[in-house]
Amino acid sequence: MERVNCVIYLDSKLIKNLDRDLSRCNLDISVIIPTVKILDKRIKGKEIYQEVPLLLNYGFLSMPKKDLNNESLRDKIKKQISCISGFLMSKKNKPETVSDFEINTTLTMGERLSIYSGLDFNSKEGRKQIKDMYEPNLISAAPIARKLR
């Protein structure tokens, strides 16, 4: 069965309920929300990360192509999945769709933008990679900081 990916509006405060809502509804859909990991805080030397939607209030909904223009199904999805507040509509009053390639590109971008994603903090190589990523920025910012004082 052919599937399409619709662009959806998200309520970022309710994303934490997504897994629960998806398990309760009996629909052939899946929700894709590209996220970035941001260092939130450190407690006793342990770093706590927060996952934030990369596209702020947008995500993707994968559904069968035959259901794309079914307005009553879209309303049912909005009611059953609390974090979905609506669908991005085109000028022809049809849901906007994106390709799998565009979604994969967005997910890859989210992994690259995540702070320290995939790096091992405890290994010497991981610490060197972190230093190499941020050292050029620190060196280039130093003259600006001196001028501001």
pLDDT tens per residue, range 102-138? 888 887 777 776 655 455 555 666 556 555 554 443 3
Instruction: Indicate yes or no: pTM above 0.75.
Output: no
Instruction: Indicate the range of 82-86, 87-91, 129-133, 143-147 predicted with least confidence.
Output: 143-147
Task: Report the pLDDT value the prediction gives residue 115, as an integer from 0 to 100.
Answer: 58
pLDDT digits 0-9 by tens, 7-31: 999 988 888 888 899 888 888 898 9
Query: Which residues on neighbouring strands pair with residue 32, listed in sequence order?
Result: 60
Q: What is the pLDDT of residues 53-78, one digit of tens each?
A: 878 888 899 999 999 889 999 999 99
pLDDT, tens digit (0-9, with 9 covering 90-100), for 25-53: 888 898 988 888 877 788 888 888 888 88
User: What is the full DSSP assignment across 21-58?
Assistant: HHHHS--S-EEE--EEEEEEEEETTEEEEEEEETTTTE
- 17 secondary structure, DSSP code: G
Give the pLDDT band of residue 145 (cuts 50, 70, 90): very low
Q: Residue 108 half-sphere exposure, CB side, CA atoms within 13 Å?
A: 6
Distances (CA, A) of 56 to 10, 13, 59, 73: 8, 11, 8, 25
Q: Under 8 Å CB-to-CB from 130, ≥6 apart: which residues? A: 116, 119, 121
How far CA 20 is from CA of 12, 30, 66, 107, in Å, comes to 15, 13, 25, 22
